């Protein structure tokens, strides 16, 4: 089946709320109905037809050609199917997503996978701050699913995360896995200062040594069965992350400023 393809004509004049462009919301709509969907975030009305050339196909696979950092909330609430973006996206890509695959060939803005519950987000470029993190006022961030960033991530990747897996194949900014409740974050490259800041539970795996808070306690280097299981799981998503988990890793318990039930793994 051909995907439903939306080709961006020009860079939008304003930020757009692209949350209507998910498979379950587009299912059963005609080309004309899709063209009438409003995406504006200001008082100036903008519809899909104004900005995109619509080529009909199966709504279960939506393809966006031509990206922009003004395309916000792509894949929001998505619960199945596939969205492919041939370019960059704005903030909150895959927010509250529950299932399906969101593949971004470019880079993503802040809060990619914010509050996500299930499914997979793959970002070929880099991701902004607070992958999976909650918006202001929310008590928890990501609670399921997988986010893979082939490039680097900004600050606080996996902020307030409860469950699920975040994989960053290159570097991550400061405070990775900050305030983590539980779940797993893997950073294959360098990590900025103070990873795991105030993490309560959960696991943070680092590919390189990092500047850690003194509230992380060295527990020794181990070849843990749990890391083999994690390695087997991430292998389908990231060969680089899987390779990192094949070696024995040093376990640091923390953040002792909170419960001390979290852990950071670094190369021995």
Partner 1 sequence: MRQLKVKGIRIDDTFAEAFGMRATALIVTADSARWARQAALTMTGFATSVIGCGAEANIDREVPARETPDGRPGVRVLLFSMSTAELQKQLQNRVGQCVLTSPGSACYAGLAGEEQLKLGNALRFFGDGWQISKRFGGKRYWRVPVMDGEFVCEATTGLTKLAVGGGNLIIMGASGANTLRAAEAAVAAINGVPDAIMPFPGGIARSGSKVGSKYKAPASTNDAYCPTLRGVVKSALDPDIGSVLEIVIDGLTSEAVAAAMAAGLAAIIRLGPKRGALRVGAGNYGGKLGPHHYHLKDLLP
Chain residues in the site for partner 1 (CB under 8 A): 163, 165, 182, 184, 201, 203, 222, 224-226, 228-230, 232-234, 261, 263
Can you say whether residue 49 is alpha, beta or left, with left for phi > 0 and alpha for psi between -120 and 50 degrees?
alpha
Q: Which residue lies nearer to partner 1 by CB, 229 or 257? A: 229
Strands 79-86 and 58-65: parallel
| Cα 61 from Cα 10, distance rounded (Å) | 22
Q: Return the number of the residue (95 or 237) whose C-beta is nearest partner 1.
A: 237
In angstroms, the Cα distances linking 35 to 5, 40, 58, 256 are: 12, 13, 16, 54
Judged by beta carbon, residue 54 or residue 182, the one nearer partner 1 is 182
Nearer to partner 1, 2 or 228 (CB): 228
Assigned token pair, 258: 């909170």
CB of 105 to partner 1, least distance (A): 25
Pairing between strand 99-104 and 58-65? unpaired
């Amino acid at each position: 089946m051909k995907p439903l393809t939306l080709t961006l004509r020009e860079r939008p004049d304003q930020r757009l709320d692209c949350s209507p462009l998910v498979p379950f919301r587009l299912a059963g709509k005609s080309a004309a109905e899709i063209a009438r969907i409003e995406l504006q975030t200001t008082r100036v009305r903008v519809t899909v037809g104004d900005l995109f050339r619509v080529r009909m196909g199966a709504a279960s696979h939506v393809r966006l050609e031509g990206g922009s950092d003004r395309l916000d909330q792509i894949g929001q609430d998505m619960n199945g199917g596939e969205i492919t973006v041939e370019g960059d996206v704005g903030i909150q890509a895959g927010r509250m997503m529950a299932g399906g695959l969101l593949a971004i060939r470019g880079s993503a803005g802040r809060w990619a996978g914010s509050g996500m519950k299930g499914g997979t987000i793959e970002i070929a470029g880099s991701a902004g701050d607070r992958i999976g993190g909650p918006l202001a006022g929310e008590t928890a961030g990501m609670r399921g699913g997988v986010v893979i960033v082939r490039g680097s991530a900004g600050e606080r990747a996996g902020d307030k995360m409860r469950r699920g897996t975040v994989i960053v194949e290159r570097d991550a900014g400061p405070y990775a896995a900050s305030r983590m409740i539980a779940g797993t974050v893997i950073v294959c490259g360098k990590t900025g200062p103070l990873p795991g800041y105030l993490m309560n539970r959960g696991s943070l795996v680092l590919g390189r040594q990092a500047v850690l808070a003194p509230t992380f306690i060295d527990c020794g280097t181990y070849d843990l069965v749990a890391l083999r299981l994690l390695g087997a799981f991430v292998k389908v998503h990231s060969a680089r992350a899987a390779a990192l988990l094949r070696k024995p890793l040093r376990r640091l318990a923390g953040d002792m400023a909170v419960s001390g039930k979290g852990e950071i793994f670094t190369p021995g």
